[in-house]
Structures are given as C-alpha cells and as structure tokens.
Amino acid sequence: MHIPDGYLSPQTCGMTYAAMVPIWAVAARKVRKALGVKQISTLALGAAFSFVAMMFNIPVPGGTTAHIAGGVLIAVLLGPWAACIALTTVLAIQALIFQDGGITTLGANCFNMAFAGPMVGWLIYRLLAGNSIRRKSLAAAAGAYVGICVSAILTALVCGIQPALAKDAAGLPAYSPFPLKTWLIAMGVSHLFLIGPIEGIVTGLVVSRLLKTETAGLALAQPVRLRPVLIGLAVLVLATPLGLLLPSWFGAGGAFGEWGGEELKRMLGFVPKGLDWLSNVWRAPVPDYALPNQTKWLSLSYIAVGILGAAVVALVTMAIARALARRKG
C-alpha cells in the first residue's frame, strides 16, 4: 500500500501534499489540546506497533503480498488525530530510512493511511461501540476492517488514474503503468477478503485485552502498563522474520504496485519515463529493511532492523508529542 516514488505525477504529489498540510495542522492542534503527558508513551508505543506490524508481509491472491497497518487501533485508543500524527511519523521514517514508500508520494501515503483510514475506522467504531467490552471490541474490529479497506481503495484510485492523466510521446503511461481496473481488483480483493479481516481481528483482540486489564478503559486517562506492552512488542519484533518466510513459502513476490524499474521492465517490457526519473530522487540508507551484506543471516538482520525502526519511530513520536504537550502547558 506504500506508493513508491515515480508512481504518481508531480502534479498529483503536489496536490496530495497540499491536502495534507491543513490536515497535519489540525491534527497538531487537536493533539495539543487533547493529549496529556501521561498518554505520550501510549502514542509512542502505538506508532512502534504500527511500524512492526507493517513488516509482516502476508501473501495474498495474485502472487503478491500486503500488510496490516494498526492505524485504527491507535485511533480507538487515543483518537483519529493522534493516529494521524503517529502514522505520519511511521510513514516518513519508512520512506527516509527504509525506502518503503516514497518521498514525493509521502503526502498521498499519509492521506490514505494516516488520515482517511484511521478517521473512517474511528467513526465506525464510535457508531457501533456500546458499553460492554464485547460490543466495543467488535466495533473496533469493524472499524479496523473498514479503515484498512478505505486506505487500500484510495491507494488504488490515486494510482489507477495516472495512466489517463500522463502519457509520454509514445502514448505509454508516464508514471503508474497499471490501469484503474487492475489497481482496484488487486487492492480490493487482497484487503476486502484477507488483510481487512486480519486487521480487524488483531485490533479487536488488542482492544478487548486492554479493556479487561486497564482500569481506565479506553479513555486512557492513565497510561497503559508499559511492561506487558513492551513484552508484546518484543515478541512481535522477534517474529518479524515471518514477514520474509511466509512469502517465500507461498511463492509470493513483493507488494502490488511497489515494483522498481527493473522489475517493471521484465513485467511490461518498458519503464515509464516519469517513474524512472522520480524513482531516483532518494536513496535510503537501509532499503527494503535489509542491512548491507546480510544475505546469509537475513532473518537476524530483519529482527535488528525491526528493533532499530521501532525504537526510532517511538522516540521521534515521543519527541513530537512532548513538543505539542509543552506548547499546551
């Protein structure tokens, strides 16, 4: 679901950045008003969970992979604007350090995954949640399912319209080469029938667990207990090699629409000129979550990158939240 550099035209990138600027401003203001110092650790851990969750590449129909996001879980716990801040931090670090998603397309990725998905999922949760633990857990699961599907469909729409918007002199697509129908089928099927249910189940189970153990409920006036959350996060990081093994076991390739120029050349026989140009605007230090010269110990490398990424995401999110809290104080 991460749109790489080159898949969107500069005009589309500019429009999505322009759309996100006021959203980021509102999110900062809302978080500054609503987030207390005691919830900062919860927000940081939620962002770290989202980062690690996205490392689990799940084989989907069509021979590609996809992943859950965790944005609606953060929205249920702390509100959709806090989720927007957390997911924006995750997506920015993924693009800058790991080349997962692009720099030019960060505005689009944030709109789809940091804003629209969590916001819609949170609204579904608020609409369906009752007073019982079971009702709130099911509402959170439903919201997470709808939210991740909304993010996927928006990704398909913005990428799928590119061939109609920009062509080169030969009449070939200049950026994303796949038509809207192909994008909608690929993203829709995988998320409606596999990734969406997994996201819903994970979110519902976590919310149910928190409601049973945290006396503050989901208002979270007090911070969640850090020790069990940290233990759970550590277990997830240690399990991240499954994100490498599962695609290998099922013969799945990379995520749909996240292929580089060489792969597109093999698949289509050509590389879109605009995509080839924009795909070189940034070279991340740890591309594809792989440390240099670690082919032999790839699973350990993946775990190390998971620890590094989760720590960086948590610290940056905490720094942003602390800065907003100080401005409020």
pLDDT digits (tens, 9 = 90+) for 126-184: 999 988 989 999 999 999 999 999 999 999 999 999 999 999 999 999 999 999 999 99
Could you give the CA distance from residue 128 to residue 118 in angstroms, rounded to a whole number?
15
**Does 216 score more than 50 pLDDT?**
no
Residue 215 predicted with pLDDT over 60 = no
Q: What tens digit of pLDDT does each residue of 3-50 get?
A: 999 999 999 999 999 999 999 999 999 999 988 877 899 899 999 999
Q: What average pLDDT score do residues 51-64 get?
A: 94
Give residues with Cβ within 8 angstroms of 204, minimum separation 6: 137, 138, 140, 141, 144
* pLDDT in the model for residue 128: 97
pLDDT tens digit sequence for 294-319:
666 788 999 999 999 999 999 999 99
- Residue 5 has phi, psi (to 5 degrees) of -60, 135
The gap between the terminal CA atoms of the chain, to the nearest Å, is 37
Confidence at residue 38, expressed as pLDDT on a 0 to 100 scale: 78
Q: Which residues, 6 or more positions from 117, have their beta carbon under 8 angstroms from its beta carbon?
A: 69, 71, 72, 147, 148, 150, 151, 154
Residue 112 has pLDDT above 50, yes or no: yes
128 φ, ψ (degrees, to nearest 5)? -100, -20
The neighbouring-strand residues paired with 64 are 60
Token readout for 209 is: 């667990």
Burial-class residue 276 by CB neighbours within 10 Å (0-12, 13-18, 19+). Answer: middle
What confidence score (pLDDT) does residue 298 get? 83
Q: What is the DSSP string of 6-55?
A: TSS-HHHHHHHHHHHHHHHHHHHHHHHHH--GGGHHHHHHHHHHHHHHTT
Q: In this prediction, what percent of the chain has a pLDDT beyond 90?
A: 80
Mean pLDDT of the region 234-259: 92
Q: Tokens 């690929």 map to which residue?
A: 186
Does residue 128 contact residue 135 with C-beta atoms inside 8 Å?
yes
pLDDT of residue 307: 95
214 within 8 A of 223, measured Cβ to Cβ: no
What is the rounded distance in angstroms from the CA atom of residue 37 to the CA atom of residue 128?
29
- What distance in Å separates the CA atoms of residue 265 and residue 261, rounded to the nearest whole number? 6
Which domains, and CATH codes, for the chain? 10-328 (1.10.1760.20)
Better-predicted residue by pLDDT, 131 or 113: 113
Give pLDDT, residue 290: 85
